[in-house]
Amino acid sequence: MHEKLAELRARLMEIDDLSSAGALLNWDQSTYMPPGGAAARGRQMATLGKLGHEKATDPAIGQLLDELGPYEASLPPDHDDAALVRVARRGYERLTKVPAELIAELYAHGAASYHAWTQARPANDVATMLPYLEKTLELSRRIADCFPGYTHIADPLIDFADYGMRAETVRVLFAELRAELAPLAQTITAQPPADDACLHQYYPEAAQLAFGEQIIRRFGYDFTRGRQDKTHHPFATKFSVGDVRITTRVKEHDLSEALFSTLHESGHAMYEQGVSAAYEGTPLAGGTSAGVHESQSRLWENLVGRSRPFWQHYYPQLQAAFPDQLGAVPLDTFYRAINKVQHSLIRTDADEVTYNLHVMLRFDLELAMLEGSLAVKDLAEAWNVRYSEDLGISAPTYSDGVLQDVHWFGGLIGGSFQGYTLGNILSAQLFETARKAEPAIDSELAQGEFGALHGWLREQIYSPGSKYTASELVERVTGGPLTIVPYLAYLRGKYGELYAL
């Protein structure tokens, strides 16, 4: 049996090597590649993807998994070998249930649609994108139909990112959250807006980068096993447990851009850096779901990085780094500026209070399209209606409306948005659990130290990798299911104090 397991591991490692190589090609494309490299790079990434897919769907893997079934059944479910076989089988079944031709069609269409979108968005040209969206919707449904037995057609698509989550569960959770958040946002935005002019002075790039890197080094991001580079759209990426990189984007007239993107991506990266090294090269060696991953980025970005105790410690250092810009700006002004709540049009720029309203309406529109209750041709209108209802504004252009996010225009309709809000909800639930378990977290945070928090997260969340599903992990760590209660309490506490509600 050990031979079978060793053979499985060797095959999984080879697949992982191909996928890590592909990730490096993508990182390079987003950071250093000269423009002339673009055409060949796309082809090279496609070749690696195709070979990896061939290897990952090799029937020999299915046979090994079958042969390892009795061994798996003989072990407790949280034994590493049992988890490896279980998670590998989940991946294998997911990949083999979708015909290779359909995958190829999806990739080819996704690339064409993405390319069209890069031109249609700046041109405010929604009409061009409608036929692409129709095709994306059709492909998304066909993919979902490869997994018969679902309750909701979005369930298999949600499974890709947040395994085990069901459309109906998420819809109910989000409806509860929206019922609380929409009025909260309304109340806050009825007040005069916070003054964030202090953030919009000239901040030289090098000093911005140095400050952010100093912070995440304190967080526990390990620069001997990672690095930060500049890109257009920040992301974290992993080539091995010893090489997990982040990227950021600097605006010299917006201090918050690079800083909070760095803190955010460091949360994703610390998760991957913290996975048990024993899982290297296996499907256990990575974050367990989009939602849990996002909980880690948002925890460090928002619950730590936009908190008052954090800045009580670090603001004097920030002032020292930028004396001309911030020397005369009081802490409270700065704190209010980085937590300014407003009804804005762009999801990625939204504050903590309104962010989820952006996400949840996208989730609902996805479900409606998949169900067939919303036609693609009516999407833009439905988008504007929901923005008016939920955020009290509507976009003057499609570019800042329905065309703003890449997700529907480069991949699937379904499954791509819920993780953002699940992550926010979970960030507060996990942070609350951590602070109860480790009282040192609060006192350290006030000193600009994060050892207790990082240590707790590493042990509880990071190290198991994908051994547990998101809901198993939440249950194990918090003793209960996912709940919006801590998140609402967090927002009400923080913004109640800020806006004297």
With a CB cutoff of 8 Å and minimum separation 6, the contacts of 326 are 198, 315, 318, 319, 334
Instruction: Report the nearest approach of a copy of itself to the CB of residue 325 (Å).
Output: 25
Q: Which stretch binds a copy of itself (CB under 8 A): 133-141, 241-249, 429-437, 493-501?
A: 241-249
SS3 221: coil
DSSP 300: I
- x/- map, 265-304, a copy of itself, by CB under 8 A: ---------------xx-----------------------
Measured CA to CA, the distance from residue 174 to residue 338 in angstroms comes to: 26
Give the helix, strand, coil percentages of the chain, each rounded to 5: 70, 5, 30
Instruction: Report the nearest approach of a copy of itself to the CB of residue 350 (Å).
Output: 33
| Interface pick for a copy of itself out of 4, 5, 9, 17 (rule CB under 8 A) | 17
**Do 162 and 418 form a contact (C-beta atoms < 8 A)?**
yes
Q: Which stretch binds a copy of itself (CB under 8 A): 16-24, 83-91, 140-148, 166-174?
A: 16-24
- x/- map, 187-226, a copy of itself, by CB under 8 A: -----------------------------------xxxxx
Instruction: Report the nearest approach of a copy of itself to the CB of residue 61 (Å).
Output: 16
Facing residues of 182 across strands?
Answer: none
Instruction: Report the nearest approach of a copy of itself to the CB of residue 40 (Å).
Output: 3
Instruction: Report the nearest approach of a copy of itself to the CB of residue 456 (Å).
Output: 23
* Cα atoms found within 13 Å of the Cα of residue 416, Cβ hemisphere only: 14
Q: Which is nearer to a copy of itself, 229 or 438 (CB)?
A: 229
51 contacts a copy of itself (rule: CB under 8 A): yes
Measured CA to CA, the distance from residue 291 to residue 425 in angstroms comes to: 9
Give the count of residues interacting with a copy of itself (CB under 8 A): 40
SS3 17: helix
With a CB cutoff of 8 Å and minimum separation 6, the contacts of 260 are 301, 305, 306, 338
Structure tokens at 230: 């500049």
Q: Which is nearer to a copy of itself, 2 or 43 (CB)?
A: 43
- Cα-Cα-Cα-Cα torsion 400, 162, 266, 199, nearest 10 degrees, comes to 30
| Interface pick for a copy of itself out of 41, 166, 308, 435 (rule CB under 8 A) | 41
Instruction: Report the nearest approach of a copy of itself to the CB of residue 71 (Å).
Output: 26
SS3 325: helix
Q: Which is nearer to a copy of itself, 198 or 241 (CB)?
A: 241
| Interface pick for a copy of itself out of 8, 12, 20, 426 (rule CB under 8 A) | 20
Q: Which is nearer to a copy of itself, 277 or 485 (CB)?
A: 277
98: alpha, beta or left, given left = phi > 0 and alpha = psi -120 to 50? beta
Q: Is 176 a catalytic residue?
A: no
Measured CA to CA, the distance from residue 153 to residue 371 in angstroms comes to: 7
Q: Which is nearer to a copy of itself, 37 or 455 (CB)?
A: 37
User: Which residue, 42, 48, 61, is CA-closest to 20?
Assistant: 48
21 contacts a copy of itself (rule: CB under 8 A): yes
Structure tokens at 6: 């060793």
Distance in angstroms between the alpha carbons of the first and the last residue of the chain: 63
Instruction: Report the nearest approach of a copy of itself to the CB of residue 101 (Å).
Output: 17
111 contacts a copy of itself (rule: CB under 8 A): no
Q: Which is nearer to a copy of itself, 222 or 449 (CB)?
A: 222
Facing residues of 237 across strands?
Answer: 245
Q: Which of 72, 213, 257, 265 is flagged as catalytic?
A: 265
Residues with active-site annotation: 265
Site for a copy of itself, rule CB under 8 A:
13-14, 17-18, 20-22, 24-25, 28, 32-41, 43-44, 47-48, 51, 222-227, 229, 239-243, 245, 280-281
